[in-house]
Amino acid sequence: MTILLSTLNARYAHASLGLRYLLANMGELKGETRLQEFVIGAKTTEIVERILAHAPRIVGFGIYIWNVEETTRVVAMLKRVAPHITVVLGGPEVSYETGEQEIVKLADYVVTGWGEVTFPQLCRAILHGPQPLMKVHAGVQPPMADIALPYAEYSDADLAHRTLYVEASRGCPFKCEFCLSSLDKTAWPFPLDAFLAELESLYQRGARLFKFVDRTFNLNVKTSMRIMQFFLDKIDAAPHDPVYAHFELVPDHLPDALKEQIAKFPPGALQFEIGIQSFNPEVQANVSRRQDNAKAAANIRWLASQSHAHLHVDLIAGLPGEDIDSFARGFDQLWALGPHEIQFGILKRLRGTPIIRHTENFGMVYDPYPPYTILATDRITFTDMQRLVRFARYWDLVANSGRFTHTLPVLLAAAPFAQFMAFSDWLYAHTDATHRIALDRLAKLVEQYLREARALPAEEARALVASDIAGKHREPHDSAAAPIRQARHLAA
């Protein structure tokens, strides 16, 4: 075997779409190309041993914000024990600020941007000459119809056990400065009929859970409607064998025709990831995010009340110009709209994103190590940022987990952000931990807080928490996966 495509996924359940695109586009080299995925947290020596077992001449690694540190160690070890192997890097993390990175220094070549054309070309040159002169190769972006679709590369085991990522389009026309997709400037659709044919064949092979990585699924409403109709037809034909689809929506663009279609989906079939990020118009202007807040709010309210879609809505703390009070107002406003989950992310400075232009003016201090999380701004101190980080973690445990559906309204009362922040501060003071808090212990702590800090009668607090823990709680479809929205945009 000559070429090995590899990456470290964040979880086993996340099958890498990017590697499968490369494999599908290897041309005459496909027969001598294999795919080997790992999961972060695996021992470096074991990863290197398993790579060497394939005896490859070239190893191509997909580098993302979540795996760059571990993959750096893998590449360093690989080049020590097998210096004859050529290492090629690709992926969003090495596509920008390429020259500064340790992993790039260790590797032989880098492909930035799109890899489907340039990676196989580079492999041909490495194998058959003439040897490439440059270390960094800018990926060529071919017409969408020329890209071989990757879906046949999902194995039966992938279909049975892993999330199937699919994409009907790449890119985004919006310019939110914290997001890597802002550099695309436009979106490019794949030919729709060919894409739907691939969905059909995945469905025929048994796939029932489809996660769209399109940045803005509802950009072209005609296309969105055809894709949704595909799923509605499947549901009509086999109502007892449900399909489940996940899409990312821009919230202020939901024409009536699309709403009508959304309303036809039964419970448990549809999930929307909706980016709000901030409701503060000044902050939106600072990061060049165009969003009609009134329309966005009305659409979220409509989705929450008139459809069965499960709604995850994203907010980002730490954006330039946002202080805790304005973030709190946005949080309370969003909570009042009734989404099922608020994904509360802390800003990350993704390599290549234009948000860097605000660093001085807004006193933005980022962690220099991945995932480059914001540590402080001119409006949020380091200490307060850590309180927000803990709030986000506890919010996942208590609210997004769906384990405290009866208790949560009492905990949040009339001021959700302020009340939950008080609870978060109390919980941290009593546990000194944000992880490894077992559900039983968490339930006892919630009960204790309601008694001690909120003066709820002991029996009332006990009965309230018991009603949740007794098992009558909502289980979100993907409760284990609460990835960073910004990072999720890089998942393909």
Q: Which residues bind ligand SF4 (CB under 6 A)?
A: 172, 174, 176, 179, 181-182, 215-216, 250, 275, 489
Q: How far is the CB of 487 from ligand SF4 (least distance, A)?
A: 12
Q: Of 27 and 173, which has the nearer Cβ to ligand SF4? A: 173
Q: Provide the minimum distance between the beta carbon of 296 and ligand SF4 in the complex, in angstroms, as a whole number.
A: 12
Contacts of 182 (CB under 8 A, 6+ apart): 172, 174, 175, 176, 288, 353, 354
The span from the CA of 241 to the CA of 473, in Å, is 23
Q: Using CA atoms, how far apart are residues 259 and 421, in angstroms rounded to an integer?
A: 35
Cα–Cα nearest to 149, from 166, 161, 163, 134: 166
CB of 63 to ligand SF4, least distance (A): 20
**8 Å CB contact between 38 and 63:** no
Cβ atoms within 10 Å of 44's Cβ, excluding its own: 16
Cα 392 to Cα 347: distance, rounded to the nearest angstrom: 12
Residue 129: how many CB atoms within 10 A of its CB?
8
**Of 277 and 401, CB closest to ligand SF4:** 277
Least distance CB 181 / ligand SF4 (angstroms): 4
Q: Which is nearer to ligand SF4, 162 or 215 (CB)?
A: 215
Comparison of 120 and 371: residue with beta carbon closer to ligand SF4: 371
CB closer to ligand SF4 out of 181 and 377: 181
Angle at the Cα of 275 (from 271 to 278), degrees rounded to 5? 145
Minimum CB separation from ligand SF4 for residue 375, in Å?
22
Separation CA 489–CA 291 (nearest Å): 19
Alpha carbons 142 and 244: distance in angstroms, whole number:
31
Question: What is the CB neighbour count within 10 angstroms for residue 48?
Answer: 20
CB of 252 to ligand SF4, least distance (A): 11
Taking the least distance from each CB to ligand SF4, the nearer of 20 and 488 is 488
Q: How many CB atoms lie within 10 A of CB 464?
A: 19
Residues for the chain: how many in total? 492
Q: Which positions ≥6 away from 155 have C-beta within 8 Å?
A: none
Q: Which is nearer to ligand SF4, 118 or 353 (CB)?
A: 353
CB-wise, 234 or 489, nearer to ligand SF4? 489
Closest CB to ligand SF4 among 172 and 207?
172
Q: How far is the CB of 173 from ligand SF4 (least distance, A)?
A: 7
Least spacing, CB of residue 170 vs ligand SF4, in Å: 11
Supply the minimum distance, in Å, between the C-beta of residue 39 and ligand SF4. Answer: 26
State how far the Cα of 346 lies from the Cα of 388, in Å rounded to an integer. 8
